[in-house]
Amino acid sequence: MRVFVTGATGFIGSAVVKELIGAGHQVLGLSRSSSVVPRAASEVAALALAACGVNVSIVRLPQVHDPYKQGLITYCIVIVREKGFSAYVADGLNRWPAAHVLDTARLYRLALEKREAGAIYHAVAEEGVSVREIAESIGRGMKIPVKSISSEEAPAYFGWMAMFADRNVPASSAQTQERLGWHPTGPELIHDLDQARYLELAKSAI
C-alpha cells in the first residue's frame, strides 16, 4: 500500500514510518513545521473528512515514551530541573495512561491495514501510571528531592502544565486490542524513565 504520513520526522511519525516500511508499505513523508497545532484540531478535521466519505480512523495517544522522550513528562523534566525538586500534587495517585513508541507505531499500521472508517482507537498499553511514581522516578534519575505540593502551589511550580498535573485520566485499550489484534509488548513507562537520558530529554523539550 502507498501511504502518506504527515509529521514523518517527528517522535511518533518516524517510528510509524519505520513500522510501515518494515511491513512492506511504500511511504511518502511530510515533515512538520515549527508551528503548533492543538491535537484536538486534528481529530475534528478527521471527523469532518469522515463525514465527507473519506475513510478515516483516529488514534488517541497517551504518554508515548522511550528512554529519550515521554510525552508531557518531557516538559515536566525541564520544570523539575529549573525548580530543583520533583513534585506531584496532593497524594499523587492520579494516573496517566502510557504506551511505548514502537507499540504505538504498530497500532497505526494495524489501523491503516484494517481500514475501518470512523474507527477510534486508544493507543494505551498501561491504563494508568500514578503521577507520584513518575515524580519519584524522575527524582531518582536526577538525584533530587521528591515532594508533594498542594493544588494551590501547582500553578507556580508547573506553569502551563498545572492543568494536567492533578488530572486523573486512566484509559483502556481493551476494545482496540480486540478489534486490531494489537498487544503491546514494549517497556513500561517507569522502566523507560528509570533508563532516561536526562540531558537529551531536557533538550528535546526545547
Q: How many residues does the chain have?
A: 206
Q: What's residue 204's pLDDT? A: 54
- Does residue 45 have a pLDDT over 80? no
Contact 132, 92 (CB under 8 A): yes
Show the cell assigned to 177.
486490542
Rounded to an integer, what is the distance from CA 151 to the centroid of its chain? 24
Q: pLDDT over 90 for what percent of the chain?
A: 68
- Does residue 77 have a pLDDT over 60? yes
Q: Using one digit for the tens of pLDDT, what is the confidence trace for 50-68?
A: 778 878 888 999 999 999 9
Q: What's residue 160's pLDDT? A: 93
Print burial letters for 16-26: b (CB count within 10 Å at least 16), e (below 16): bbebbeeeebe
A 10 A CB-CB count for 148 gives 13
Rounded to an integer, what is the distance from CA 173 to the centroid of its chain? 14
Of 8, 25, 27, 138, the closest CA to residue 73 belongs to: 138
Of 143, 97, 102, the closest CA to residue 19 belongs to: 102
Show the cell assigned to 10.
517527528
34 vs 70, residue with greater confidence: 70
Q: Using one digit for the tens of pLDDT, what is the confidence trace for 84-105?
A: 999 999 999 999 999 999 999 9
- Does residue 203 have a pLDDT over 90? no
Q: What's residue 200's pLDDT? A: 60
**Is residue 98 within a helix (H) or strand (E), and if so which, with residue range?**
strand 95-100
15 vs 39, residue with greater confidence: 15
- Rounded CA-CA distance 201/34 in Å is 19
Q: What's residue 40's pLDDT? A: 66
Domains (range + CATH), the chain: 37-204 (3.40.50.720)
- Does residue 190 have a pLDDT over 90? yes
Q: Using one digit for the tens of pLDDT, what is the confidence trace for 108-166?
A: 999 999 988 889 999 999 999 999 999 999 999 999 999 999 999 999 999 999 999 99
If you average pLDDT over every residue of the chain, what do you get? 89
Q: What's residue 38's pLDDT? A: 54
Q: pLDDT over 70 for what percent of the chain?
A: 90
The DSSP 8-state label assigned to residue 188 in this structure reads P
